[in-house]
Amino acid sequence: MESGGNSLLSGADGSKRKVCYFYDPEVGNYYYGQGHPMKPHRMRMTHALLTHYGLLQNMHVLKPNPAREKDLCRFHADDYVSFLRRITPETQQDQLRQLKRFNVGEDCPVFDGLYSFCQTYAGGSIGGAVKLNHGHCDIAINWAGGLHHAKKCEASGFCYVNDIVLAILELLKTHERVLYVDIDIHHGDGVEEAFYVTDRVMTVSFHKFGDYFPGTGDIRDLGYGKGKYYALNVPLDDGIDDESYQSLFKPVMSKVMEVFRPGAVVLQCGADSLSGDRLGCFNLSVKGHAECVRFMRSFDVPLLLLGGGGYTIRNVARCWCYETGVALGIEVDDKVPQHEYIEYFGPDYTLHVSPSNMENKNSRELLEVIRAELLRNLSKLQHAPSVQFHDRPPDTQLPEVDEDEEDKDERKYHDSDVNVDCERNSSPSRVKMEFVEPATNNKKDEEAVDELAMKIESTLEPTTSKGSMAAAEEDGPRCVEPEKEKDPSAEINPQPPLDEPTEMDHH
Ligand SMILES: [Zn+2]
């Protein structure tokens, strides 16, 4: 496969990048339950490959600080987060209404350590954003993150908290515009929804479309209000191969980079788009999948690489190991080194596996039509919007800020601001549904949508106005559902300040 490169920069591809890699040695121990396809063990397998290929020495290895309740509440509703914090396999039978309300129980089961699992994977993505914001690295990696389906007050598609939305909110403290790219086989619905009406975040999702989870991601869904044309959906069919995929990915992403000019890029590298995935139906090779990483890296913009789906776990580990090599500019050997999980990689013990001979249902003609429509939509995006940064919000996870009394007040102030983010970011979910469904798209809805769009718009302004703070006090983040069970035990524990992520021993 051609290594590509892009029209904006040349020669950047070969140069080295400083990489921060987030990994918690506990993450592989979380277990969704017997028969559940989502297996956090795949992150441990990936880490073992990185270790034995000798890649850890080439990057900064960090153990993520667990995201705190207030970090999660920057996007998620307070009552949803508090539910996640309290629910256990033992107590879930007494919480049937709450389970149903938050969509927890089936695809998204309650398991031991659920909340700390969420804190860990979200902590890695937010930590990666902080590192990028500080310029401590060019690329940050968190393979445990990328859980793109989670909603403001609802779990969905094996995802509980949306670490991607949280990381993007962190990046927006420093960057005027953030680009989100999603190559998981499933539509990146949770992230799209969160930023549907803003032009500061552009979302681009490549996914299987048509009778497939989660059902959203039509090419005609483009964003709304100020966010119109800042959401892009690339609907694909079964059996897409490397060449077909790149025939869309490269021209579309080149154009996006040219017109949107993001300050940072978040790439969700869901590996269920690989050939032979237990839940997927695409036919990409590891190299074809990694070509997306290589291509986005070539623009030399701060890059956050996240995991996502991926259910044939030996291939997930292959893919994310190879992509870590791509991030570092190191071509890893095809021969899998001897290590504790070597038996997963038999009978050939190679990193690369051949795609299958399945039919590619994406005809050249269809791909051409899709490409033309996407480029037409992109041509309507006139220029990159800019924001004035009068007063940059403080970073998450900087304990030294607490030592200064003045800064402490400032942080409190910004926390209220941040809650506004949460409230306003939540709205597009309903907005979008109303807008997409022609049946409910009446005048009244449009007015409501306009109002919400304005609210979200002012939320993302980095400068806080008195008005928006007042709004935050009035409508704190909480779920739409009216039924509220008062739980006297639900008081929030005081959270100790987070430390800088701990540097890990390489072995
Ligand atoms: Zn997926």
Dihedral sign, Cα of residue 5, residue 6, residue 10, residue 16? negative
Dihedral sign, Cα of residue 134, residue 148, residue 307, residue 323? negative
Which residues are part of a known binding site? 107, 157, 184, 186, 272, 311
Taking the centre of ligand 1 as the mean of its atom positions, its distance from the CA of residue 184, in whole angstroms, is 5
Taking the centre of ligand 1 as the mean of its atom positions, its distance from the CA of residue 322, in whole angstroms, is 19
Check 47, 76, 148, 149 and give the catalytic one: 149
d(CA 154, CA 147): 13
Residue type, 395: D
Determine the angle formed by the axes of helices 364-379 and 242-260, rounding to 10 degrees. Answer: 10
Which residues are part of a known binding site for substrate? 107, 157, 311
Answer for the pair 203, 228: CB distance below 8 angstroms, yes or no. no
Which run of H or of E encompasses 233? strand 231-236
* Annotation marks residue 148 as catalytic: no
Taking the centre of ligand 1 as the mean of its atom positions, its distance from the CA of residue 271, in whole angstroms, is 7
Answer for the pair 331, 1: CB distance below 8 angstroms, yes or no. no
Dihedral sign, Cα of residue 413, residue 421, residue 462, residue 263? positive
Which run of H or of E encompasses 452? helix 443-460
Please indicate, yes or no, whether the overall pTM of this predicted structure exceeds 0.75. yes
d(CA 457, CA 198): 6
Which residues are part of a known binding site for a divalent metal cation? 184, 186, 272
Q: What is the pLDDT along the chain (507 residues), one digit of tens a residue?
A: 333 444 333 345 668 999 999 999 999 999 999 999 999 999 999 999 999 999 999 999 999 999 999 999 999 999 999 999 999 999 999 999 999 999 999 999 999 999 999 999 999 999 999 999 999 999 999 999 999 999 999 999 999 999 999 999 999 999 999 999 999 999 999 999 999 999 999 999 999 999 999 999 999 999 999 999 999 999 999 999 999 999 999 999 999 999 999 999 999 999 999 999 999 999 999 999 999 999 999 999 999 999 999 999 999 999 999 999 999 999 999 999 999 999 999 999 999 999 999 999 999 999 999 999 999 999 998 777 777 776 677 787 533 333 233 333 222 222 322 222 333 333 333 223 222 222 233 334 444 444 444 444 444 443 323 222 222 223 334 454 433 333 323 222 333 334 455 555 443
Residues 6+ apart with CB under 8 A from 406: none
Taking the centre of ligand 1 as the mean of its atom positions, its distance from the CA of residue 261, in whole angstroms, is 27
Taking the centre of ligand 1 as the mean of its atom positions, its distance from the CA of residue 279, in whole angstroms, is 8
